Structure 1
Amino acid sequence: MKKLILGLSALGLIAFTSCKENAANKIEEANVIAAAERDAVASKFPKIEFNETVHDFGEIEKGTSVETKFSYKNTGDAPLIVTDIKSSCGCTVPKDWSREPLAPGESAEFSVKYNGSGANKITKTITVSANTEKGSEIVKITAFVKPAEAQ
C-alpha cells in the first residue's frame, strides 16, 4: 500500500511540474495595447452641469400651476444619455427631455410643472438618472404656496 501511495505521489509531482512554459511568455503585445485602450475609454464619463440646481417660484396662489425649464450641458468626455427623470411626488411633473445621446459640449433642457398643491414653503426634488459616474443628479423647485382666498 505504501508503494502505491508513493508511486501515485511521484506521478502527480511529475505531472504538475512538467509544464515548463512560463505564462508571461503567452501574453501578446496586441492584447495588452487593446486592453489599455479599452480601460482608458471606460474611465471617461459624461458630466452633467445645470444652469441652476434650485428654482424658486416665489409666492404662488394655492392651485396655481407654474412651470420652469432646467437647462443642462454635458461637460464630460463621453456622450451623455439621460435615461429617466422622476419627481418626489405626483404634484411635480418633469417632461420634454431628450432620450438621445448628448455629445460633450452640447446642451439640452427639460421642463418641470408644479400644480400648486400644498401649503406654505414647499420643496420638491427632481432626480435625473443618467450615465454619469454618479448615476443620478438632483435638482429642486421651491415655492411659498399662499392659501386660497375665502369667498
Structure 2
Amino acid sequence: MISAEAGSRRVDPAPEPAEGSLLLDDQLCFALYAASRAVTARYRPLLDELGLTYPQYLVMLVLWEQDAISVRELGAALQLESSTLSPLLKRLEANGLLHRERRADDERSVAIRLSEEGARLRDRAATVPVSIGDAMGLTPEQDALTKQLLRLLTANVSAD
C-alpha cells in the first residue's frame, strides 16, 4: 500500500471509483495529465537558467549518460519519432550543445555527440534533479514505486 503522506503534505486516498465512472476525479488519465503538467511547470524555471526546454533537457540527459549515440537509439530511449527528434537536435546543435555527423561505416546513420559546451552544461544541470525531487516530496521508496508503476502502466498501454 502506498502512503500518500510526504513531508508535511498529505493527500487523502480517494475512494474506489465505480466501474465506468465518468467523474473527472475518478480518471487515472486526468491524474497523470495534471501531475505531468505540474512537474513540467516546475522544471521550466530551472531549465530556463540552462537555456533548455524540457524535451531538450531529456535529449541532454541521454547524451550525458551515453555520448555518441545514433539518432535511432536516441529516439528509442526517449520514445520519440525522428520527425519529433530532428527539430530538437537541430536547435541543440545551433545552440552549440551537440554535433550531428554521418557515421563513416553507415552513411544512413547519424551519430549525435556532445560538444564541449554540452558536456560542461552537465555540471550546471546537476542541481535540477535535486530541486525537482525536493518539490515532489516523495520518500525514496515512494519515488521508486511511482517510477515502477508508471513504467508498468506505459508497457501495458503500449502492448499490442
What TM-score, normalized to structure 2? 0.19
Specify which structure has the higher proportion of strand: 1
Specify which structure has the higher proportion of helix: 2
Query: Whose RCO is larger (CA < 8 A, sep 6+)?
Result: 1
Q: Which has the larger radius of gyration?
A: 1
